[in-house]
A and B are shown apart, each in its own frame.
Chain A
Amino acid sequence: MTAPATSFWRIAGMTYLQYANRAAGSVRAGLKEPLKSKLAAQGQFSYKVSSWTNGEQSPKIEIDTLDKAGKAV
């Protein structure tokens, strides 16, 4: 029992989604044009969230990475 029973990215604290998206981004970075620019936007997203407490809305937080999405609210 010397080798860990899980992958290196899991040990570092990444989730499967973070791993899969990183790998996909890595594939997109190694493509020829024009496909490279066509797919460049696939890995990007952003949205705003806010929570409500006692009828008061908290300031909106912009989420543009999976890491922020997990910690925002």
Chain B
Amino acid sequence: MLSRTASLVARKVVPRASFAARAFSSEATADATSVTLNLSVPYESIYNGAAVEQVIIPGTEGEYGITVNHVPYVAQMKPGVLQVLFEGAEPEKYFVAGGYAVTHANSVTDVVCVEAVKLDDIDPSAVQSNYDAAKSAAGAAASGSVEEAEAMIDMEVNKAMGLAVGLTLA
């Protein structure tokens, strides 16, 4: 995967050569010109080795973008919008329910989530009614109970889905 000459010619990547040598995937080289994206849900591989310009990931610690030659990074995702940017094309937007994103040293980024759907498939009226139902369930549940936590998860997810389709929920 990583030839010795490639690491010598590459400008900025020289210090990362040792990281690249122990990366798992062999699809990209150290002087990659694009991000290699693998986006998977349990029942489908949405992108497998796709060459993309940038991936914007909703991390629990904040949203961040992955471009070529990004430093290796692991992040847990929050429910939110994941954007896949192609050169000279409209970004593809997916709503992810959470999961993990791993960026390897050779610009390969693996995104694994339990559910990922296109924004066009979100039904704003269902989101609104699910949010209202979750809010009243959270109010009715005993403080600190699992039922309350489940209702709060539903609220959090529906709020993020609402935000993604331009719906403000309170």
Q: Does A35 contact B117, Cβ atoms closer than 8 Å?
A: yes
Assess whether B130 is in contact with A31, with CB atoms less than 8 Å apart: no
> Inside 8 A of A9's CB, which chain B residues have their CB?
149, 152-153
Known: A23-B114, A35-B117. A30 touches B153 (CB 8 A): no
Asked whether B153 lies within 8 Å of A26 as measured between CB atoms, the reply is: yes
One of B22-30, B64-72, B101-109, B118-126 at the interface: B118-126
Q: Is A32 an interface residue (CB 8 A)?
A: yes
A70 contacts partner chain B, Cβ-Cβ < 8 Å? no
Decide yes or no whether B45 CB sits under 8 A from chain A: no
CB contacts under 8 Å to A, within B126-170, are 126-127, 130, 134, 144-146, 148-150, 152-154, 156-158, 161
Please tell me which one of the listed residues A14, A26, A28, A32 contacts residue B149 in the complex, with CB atoms under 8 A apart.
Answer: A14
Given contacts A30-B161, A31-B121, contact A22 B115 (CB under 8 A): no
Contacting pair B117 A27 (CB below 8 A): yes
Check B123 against A20 for contact (C-beta < 8 Å).
Answer: no
Is A24 an interface position by the 8 A CB rule?
A: yes
Q: Is B21 an interface residue (CB 8 A)?
A: no
A59 CB to nearest chain B CB (Å): 27
Tell me whether A20 and B97 are in contact (CB under 8 A): yes
Q: Which residues of A contact B154 (CB under 8 A)?
A: 22, 26
**Which of A11, A24, A32 sits near B123, CB closer than 8 Å?**
A32
Q: Tell which of A11, A12, A21, A31 touches B114, judged by Cβ atoms closer than 8 Å.
A: A21
Asked if B43 and A26 sit within 8 Å, CB to CB, the answer is no
Q: Is the CB of A30 within 8 A of B97?
A: no
Taking the nearest CB of chain B, how far is it from the CB of A71, in angstroms? 13
Given known pairs A11-B144, A42-B42, the reply for A30 and B115 (CB within 8 Å) is no
Question: Closest 4 interchain pairs by CB?
Answer: A12-B149, A24-B114, A24-B115, A26-B157
Taking beta carbons and an 8 Å cutoff, which residues of A are in contact with B?
Answer: 8-9, 11-14, 19-24, 26-32, 35-36, 39, 42
